[in-house]
Amino acid sequence: MIHDGRDSFGGYLDDFKAGDIFKHWPGKTITAMDNHLFTLLTMNTNPLHFDEHYMKDHPHGRILVNGMLVFSLVVGISVRDTSGKAIANLEYENATHDGPTFEGDTIYAESEILDVRVSKSRPDRGIVYMESRGINQRGEQVLTLRRRFLVTKRPAEEVVGAAASDA
């Protein structure tokens, strides 16, 4: 069989079970350019994210990274190990900003599978419920979010092929 990388991108429903923990790698160091572009592209004009002079008198004393950039990074970092084969993301919930993120911080992520269930209407697919956590280079948790994604079960020909190779 030829492997082109797509087969190892994400998992099928059968590949997940409650309690699984994925330590995602690599992380991403957030540059000033990343933060400024994301902030301006999303039209978030809060000076917390781009006005260094304004932030000198703020309790944090320096520019804060846009929280939605951190959210997007944590989800994106998790895709290769989890939802790379997803049909769709269904829900995001309980997102909390657990600590500040500053320009120059590196964000890593880990995800825990909370629940896996077969679809009630389509038995060839199911829903994975997971919690992802963003952690900076100092080991501080800066973001937590939960999400559900819809993914198919492993195709029958792969199950048969795997069983044959085990024999």
- Give 64-80 pLDDT, tens digit per residue: 999 999 999 999 999 99
Residue 114: is its pLDDT beyond 90? Answer: yes
Average pLDDT of the chain, as a whole number: 92
For residue range 39-68, what is the model confidence (pLDDT) as tens digits?
Answer: 999 999 999 999 999 999 999 999 999 999
Confidence of residue 131 (pLDDT cuts 50, 70, 90): very high
Cα–Cα distance measured from residue 67 to residue 73, given in angstroms and rounded to the nearest whole number: 10
Cα–Cα distance measured from residue 93 to residue 15, given in angstroms and rounded to the nearest whole number: 23
Confidence of residue 160 (pLDDT cuts 50, 70, 90): low
Tell me the three-class secondary structure of the chain, residue by residue. Answer: CCCCCHHHCCCCHHHCCCCCEEEEEEEEECCHHHHHHHHHHCCCCCHHHCCHHHHCCCCCCCCECCHHHHHHHHHHHHHCCCHHHEEEEEEEEEEEECCCCECCCEEEEEEEEEEEEECCCCCCEEEEEEEEEEEECCCCEEEEEEEEEEEECCCHHHHHHHHHHHC
pLDDT at 157: 74
pLDDT-above-70 percentage for the chain: 90
pLDDT at 164: 53
pTM for the model: 0.88
